[in-house]
Chain A
């Protein structure tokens, strides 16, 4: 008998169906990955298993068999005995998943106290034991600390300790690593693997990242729009995907598609950065976010700055577009005038397409704004140019009268790109410009950026934490760590023959089963 048997599960939000009849099983001790893009219903499915759906959601039909018990029919009261004891949860975002005003130790002890496992002293011993087991050094001290005193990776370890505290039969891991840096991500996934082997716990891994799913699961469940598109053994699906959607996912996932490298081109530099330093002061202490960074970008090519959070890549980008003042060092953009004219020449595309568009403006107004600011053309000419720009970024003409909130994430990012192009710039700085998008949308935007570069001869400075994306789009790469560039060179050279240990660690962390 299966450990978990979900049959024909259907869930709706405020009467609107979100999950339509999903069925799958999890055998004891195996890892089943549920993969899908945003809106696929994967998280809703996972949460309905432990009865933690939000208030406006309701279970329409179906059963959730844990062993012989149908949890779907259980009262909330009865579910409390299952949660934590038989099914553990590792949540999505470790930064907000712990109560900020309680110590880490108290929050691990809580699960033992709720299920009345042992007296005070026994609980305290078990907490230290668990912290040691999930790999936190100096567990006694950690137990007395508050969540904000721990790094993201350490918090996720604490959350894993909570999930495994009572050695449940099943752990639901809901995007357990998507908020973490790649090197941390790998260590956390390794830890989950180890614990599974040790306790024989089954894992239901919910993820948007096909790379993670492919490298860590025994079986795959591919979801789209609330339905299961395809399921089966991971290796078989990767080798011969049955559904069109799975094929497209596999093709679009940058981590899995081995595309040819873009070779560097000899051209005069469009951007020259020399010995760039940025210090932030808080009180008397100074912190060097960027520490002596130098690089050049040849005209018409893409240079990527890649690094984990806190590496200084975004601060560098902001200095290049003159949104931040360097403490020392220089940024030269060839041919760009000083003052306001600089903004006609160099444009920034933000990471978050939801925040970078004024919610009160129409799409046409947004794209037209640079033209108005620089007084380019009369009203009719500007409108014609807006229509041309929208066409160029492959948006239908009828979006021009709409507001940003009526558009999807990918469409919004197209609008942001159209606005950036409006005044005819030569340099585009893209700050994590595709990181917030689903893989299929991401692939489309990357294609668009490549197309625009060929057509308009644009120079890109591409900021990203995602090596797989960088590999696909850039000609040259600089790897940043702690404010410094540790390695620079052609994308081919850096990816195939890394010289620096940190680069090697980053590359090893890309989940790539086909590698």
Chain B
């Protein structure tokens, strides 16, 4: 068991390092000096001291030395300086992170809730049209462009029904529409896998055995089928964490919220490679960490894996 955990943790670190290196190399393909030239732009309003700091950070040394410096910077929490504003990247990330964390965690919770409701009601229902309708909801959800959904929600709830103010309003009120926008596309794969998982478990020979004990439909679904279908669903739920960060780019742009997504969008427009590198590594880190947790949970939920690991 410990061995399994250590192997998985080692793999996670390796993937993270590779993601960092690959993005670093890709983003470094841009002509290097352009970075320094940009910092001398007087519009940034940097003091000579700041420019000297940045110059010391980015110039000199071999490409390998530069790479190692950036890597050690990431390991110690120093992500370099934003080309766009000249401020340290870590400050910009720090300002943006809480906003996105709130949005993403609420959206993830809503997505799981939506998925569970869709899959369970569809499985339990004996009405075939209701079942069919519910099961086609995920494919609709996944086909809707998130930016368009956001705009549509604003149009209906802010402009037509005037339920949510366009500007102002409480923190919670402002969160509702972006959370729905972000949650809808993410709930789709979770619902699909959960519903498929439930179907597959129902086809297992152990289900009629439980029915032969005299169990009710709900007993079978809740105590056995759902419990077994959770396993594949957990994997997919872990994979969607990357999409939460990607989705926040669109959602925050549409709703004008200042988070990681907005920061990313600005970084791309300004070719702000240090910020972009930090965002990519952050996304990869969240993804790797969440999937490590999923891997750790798996043997706990499935006794068969405890023996294998």
How many angstroms between the C-alpha atoms of A100 and B231 in the bound complex?
Answer: 12
Give chain B nearest CB distance to A150 CB in angstroms: 12
Are the CB atoms of A110 and B215 closer together than 8 Å?
yes
Contacts A83-B212, A88-B212 given; does A93 touch B205 at CB 8 Å: yes
Q: Which of A81, A91, A101, A163 contacts B227 (CB 8 A)?
A: A101
Give chain B nearest CB distance to A155 CB in angstroms: 11
How many angstroms between the C-alpha atoms of A80 and B208 in the bound complex?
Answer: 12
A372 at the A/B interface (Cβ < 8 Å)?
no
Are the CB atoms of B228 and A80 closer together than 8 Å?
no
Are the CB atoms of A146 and B205 closer together than 8 Å?
no
Name A106's closest neighbour in chain B (CB-CB): B223
B211 at the A/B interface (Cβ < 8 Å)?
yes
Are the CB atoms of B214 and A101 closer together than 8 Å?
no
Give chain B nearest CB distance to A105 CB in angstroms: 13
Are the CB atoms of A96 and B307 closer together than 8 Å?
no
Are the CB atoms of B210 and A110 closer together than 8 Å?
yes
Contacts A91-B205, A96-B204, A148-B307 given; does A111 touch B302 at CB 8 Å: no
Query: Which residues 72-97 in A have Cβ within 8 Å of B in the complex?
Result: 76-77, 80-85, 87-89, 91-93, 96-97
Are the CB atoms of A98 and B209 closer together than 8 Å?
yes
B57 at the A/B interface (Cβ < 8 Å)?
no
Q: Which of A89, A92, A115 contacts B212 (CB 8 A)?
A: A89
Name B205's closest neighbour in chain A (CB-CB): A96
How many angstroms between the C-alpha atoms of A50 and B214 in the bound complex?
Answer: 10
Query: Which residues 94-151 in A have Cβ within 8 Å of B in the complex?
Result: 96-102, 110-111, 114-115, 146, 148-149
Scoring B204, B210, B302, B304 by chain A CB atoms within 10 A of each residue's CB, the highest score goes to: B210
Are the CB atoms of A101 and B303 closer together than 8 Å?
yes
How many angstroms between the C-alpha atoms of A469 and B30 in the bound complex?
Answer: 74
Q: Which of B210, B214, B216, B217 contacts A99 (CB 8 A)?
A: B210
Given contacts A91-B208, A101-B302, 9 further A-B contacts (CB under 8 A): A82-B214, A83-B212, A89-B208, A97-B209, A101-B228, A102-B227, A111-B213, A159-B209, A163-B212
Give chain A nearest CB distance to B203 CB in angstroms: 9
Name A76's closest neighbour in chain B (CB-CB): B217
Interface residues of B (CB under 8 A from A): 204-206, 208-217, 219, 224, 227-228, 301-304, 307
Give chain A nearest CB distance to B222 CB in angstroms: 13
Are the CB atoms of B219 and A114 closer together than 8 Å?
yes
Are the CB atoms of B213 and A83 closer together than 8 Å?
yes
Q: Which of A92, A111, A146, A162 contacts B304 (CB 8 A)?
A: A146
A499 at the A/B interface (Cβ < 8 Å)?
no
Give chain A nearest CB distance to B217 CB in angstroms: 8
Contacts of A83 in B (CB 8 A): 211-214
Interface residues of A (CB under 8 A from B): 47, 50, 52, 76-77, 80-85, 87-89, 91-93, 96-102, 110-111, 114-115, 146, 148-149, 159, 162-163
Are the CB atoms of A110 and B213 closer together than 8 Å?
yes
Are the CB atoms of A80 and B215 closer together than 8 Å?
yes
Q: Which of B206, B219, B228, B303 contacts A97 (CB 8 A)?
A: B206
Name A159's closest neighbour in chain B (CB-CB): B209
Name B215's closest neighbour in chain A (CB-CB): A114
Contacts of B209 in A (CB 8 A): 89, 91, 97-98, 159, 162
Contacts of B205 in A (CB 8 A): 91-93, 96-97
Name B224's closest neighbour in chain A (CB-CB): A99
Contacts of B206 in A (CB 8 A): 96-100
Are the CB atoms of A114 and B224 closer together than 8 Å?
no
Contacts of B219 in A (CB 8 A): 114
Contacts of B214 in A (CB 8 A): 80-85, 111, 114-115
Are the CB atoms of B213 and A146 closer together than 8 Å?
no
Give chain A nearest CB distance to B201 CB in angstroms: 9
Name B228's closest neighbour in chain A (CB-CB): A101
How many angstroms between the C-alpha atoms of A162 and B206 in the bound complex?
Answer: 12
Are the CB atoms of A100 and B302 closer together than 8 Å?
yes
